[in-house]
Structure 1
Amino acid sequence: MRDENIHNMNFLDEKDHRFGVFQRVLDARMKELLSKGLGAKVRQADPILPEDEEKIWNQKVFGMQSSLALQYTVFFYNCKLFGLRGYDEHKSLECDQFEVGCDERGKYIHFHGRLSKTYKGGLKHIQLQNKDIKHYCLNAERCLADFYMVYLDALGHRGAFYRRPLAVGIRYGEQVLGINKIKGLMKEITGKAGIVGNFTNHSGKRTCATQLYQAGVDEQEIMSKTGHRSETAVRKYKRSNSVLMENVSKVLDPPKMMKFEG
């Protein structure tokens, strides 16, 4: 319907009685399939856990030892720090959307967002704002502001943000990375580090939301990072990971056997 430019109909809208029969048939079929086990397990992109992130650094997949490693680094942290999703928010990035600076709080990376899935601009979004995120770099040993500055210097602070890395030194060509290449970057990163899981570019955004959620950050602040416009949408990222499940299991597991003297 979108392809045919039809926007006044939504066959999943329960209030639209024109699709009542269709909805009842679809509802019955979904329940039937679920009873057979189809759709019971939802396959989602896994977040990158802190221990996995550390492993990527230790395996030297991240770093400034090559132009490719540096590109992996800024790509991942564009996802984690600024909540960029999939490839659609990466492919149109420009160098001038990033500013590296320093103030009384320390070094920072300032990201200026443009169009995204949830922000299209124009009259409909006149009351909304695009992403405007300043990340302060508190880890002196891995100061991301330094990594971004080296990367931007290599690109000449102009043009497309993702360009083909060259083999010698920290240098990049004029050729812009293709869509398929950008789509596969997260799998390349985790694969080279030997991390097993269902990792896609969406894993970066899940990493952002998951780590903020686990740290007890307010939902509104999480939304400002991820770009979600509703709390319902951002709550979809509040899913238990293996660490949380292990902690819950410890609480609910049978008590340990008591040893009595005598």
Structure 2
Amino acid sequence: MKELLSKGLGTKVRQADPILPEDEEKIWTSGVFGSHSSQALQYTVFFYNCKIFGLRAFDEHRNLECSQFEIGQDEQGKFIRFTGRSSKTYKGGLKHLQLTNKDLKHYCQEGERCLADLYRTYLDALSNEGPFYRRPLAVSGIVCVRYGEKVLGVNKLKGLMKEITGKAGLEGNFTNHSGKRTCATQLYHAGIDEQEIMSRTGHRSETAVRKYKRSNSVLQERVSEVLNPPNTKKMKGEITVLKMNESENLRDENSKPAAVSDSVVTRGVPEIGSGSENAEIPNIFKPGSVFNNCVFHFKP
């Protein structure tokens, strides 16, 4: 293993990519998600089963039943309640007697993308009983959402996430595991406590759930900006007000603020108006303006 590593083998770990918020928005706007067809609605509930309930790549989807979902409303708003059963980390029996089964309530936003309404439409089309994933049927008449009695095939179910991202035009290593990774990553970036993240994903240790956390391009850009060399262009566009005129005659006889052009100390830029380089800098230091302990940033 050491010899292979020295040759560069095994230096890159191939992992499923999370679905970033901008990618998720692209899936919606491209029409892959929604309730306008049986296929689109099934794509929607599959993705959000992964994202909001942290279901695993295949094993927790395969035996999913309609009875595990409850659509309701309380003083907090509409919600979807999911009750888990046997899973990789919870198999029941005496060994797991002290563990609790996954029982999650997800509150939904109002509007066209209300997940509670979408799940209700999907469950109604399945008559609220039987297997959760069934084969979509062709649309006829005014009915736009129909499903058959046969369950979705194993290979079809395993490739749903890749199919979703492919139709939306996303590029990356997207698998069914991307949904669970999306759940952990977005909660992590939002500052949610690890215990709450574990309740969604079903992990039993902090070490396991941390493997699902992935840095996004925004965080990487911020880190890069801190570590990059000093940017002279930004320094030229920065004006720091270090002190103000301490004269007792700060206001003139008409009680108007005095000009501050002599009391402003600039850093990194010549005096405003002294050359064409500062022609685009707005003239905020007009007579009558008073500033104290301020820092002004101008884009280069």
* TM class, shorter-length: 0.7 to 0.9
Which of 94, 104, 107 matches 1:136? 107
The aligned counterpart of 2:181 is: 206
Rounded to whole Å, the distance in 1 between the matches of 2:179 and 2:218 is 18
Match of 2:22, as an amino acid? E
User: CA–CA distance in 2 between the matches of 1:193 and 1:242?
Assistant: 20
Is residue 54 of structure 2 the alignment partner of residue 79 of structure 1? no
**What secondary structure is seen at the aligned counterpart in 2 of 1:90?**
helix
Report the alpha carbon displacement of residue 141 of structure 1 after superposing the two structures with TM.
3.2
**Secondary structure at 2:170 match in 1:** coil
- 1:88-133 per-residue CA deviation (whole Å, 9 max, x = no partner) reads 1100000000000001110000000001110011111000011100
The SS at the match of 2:60 is: coil
Give the superposed CA RMSD: 1.0
Runs (4+) of structure 1 exceeding 3 A deviation are none
**Structure 2, unaligned stretches of length 5 or more?**
237-268, 275-300
Q: Which amino acid aligns with 1:155?
A: L
**Aligned partners of 2:4 and 2:110: how far apart in 1?**
49
Question: In the alignment, what sits opposite 1:176?
Answer: 151
Deviates more, 1:32-41 or 1:154-163: 32-41
Q: Does the 8 A contact of 2:72 with 2:79 survive in 1?
A: yes
Per the normalisation by structure 2, the TM-score is 0.76
Q: CA deviation at 1:241?
A: 2.4
Aligned to 2:167: 192
Maintained 8 Å contact 2:183/2:201: yes
Show the 5 A alignment for 1:107-186.
107-168=78-139, 169-186=144-161
Partner Cα separation in structure 2 for residue 243 and residue 34 of structure 1: 30
Deviates most, 135-144 or 49-58: 135-144
C-alpha contact (below 8 Å) 2:181/2:213 kept by paired residues = no
1:62 CA drift (Å): 0.1
Structure 2 match to 1:43 = 14
Pair member with larger Rg: 2
Percent identity over paired residues = 78
Q: Following the alignment from structure 1 to structure 2, what is the Cα–Cα distance between the partners of residues 164 and 156?
A: 14
Match of 1:10 in 2: none
Structure 1 equivalent of residue 76 of structure 2: 105
Q: Which residue among 218, 221, 240 is the counterpart of 2:193?
A: 218
Residue 180 of structure 1: how far off its partner (Å) = 0.6
Q: Superposition pairs for residues 85-100 of structure 1, below 5 Å?
A: 85-100=56-71
Q: Give 3-state SS (helix, strand or coil) of 2:59's partner.
A: coil
Q: Which whole-Å deviations, capped at 9, do the CAs of 1:33-64 have from their partners, x for residues lacking one?
A: 11111110001000000000000000010001
Deviation, structure 1 residue 253: 1.2
Identify the structure with bigger relative contact order (alpha carbons < 8 Å, sequence gap 6+). 1
Distance (whole Å) between structure 2 residues aligned to residue 167 and residue 161 of structure 1: 18
Looking at structure 2, the residues matched to 68 and 103 of structure 1 have their Cα atoms a distance apart, in angstroms, of 30
- 1:193 & 1:201 partners in 2: Cα distance? 15
- What amino acid sits opposite 2:104 in the alignment? I
Report which stretch shifted further, 166-175 or 146-155: 166-175
Name the amino acid aligned to 2:215.
S
1:47 maps to amino acid: P
Which residue number in structure 2 is paired with residue 16 of structure 1?
Answer: none
Whether the aligned pair in 1 keeps the contact of 2:159 and 2:176 (CA below 8 Å) is yes
Match of 1:253 in 2: 228
2:70 counterpart SS class: strand
Structure 2: which amino acid aligns with 1:196?
E
Q: Deviation of residue 32 (structure 1)? A: 1.8
- Aligned residue among 199, 202, 224 for 1:227: 202
Deviation at 1:138, TM superposition (A): 2.1
2:211 to 218, 236, 239: 236
Q: 2:135–2:151: 8 Å Cα contact kept in structure 1?
A: yes
Long gaps (5+) in structure 1: 1-29
CA shift for structure 1 position 139: 4.0
Once the two structures are TM-superposed, the CA of residue 179 in structure 1 deviates from its matched residue by 1.1
Alpha-carbon separation, structure 2, partners of 1:105 and 1:206: 27
Deviation at 1:231, TM superposition (A): 0.5
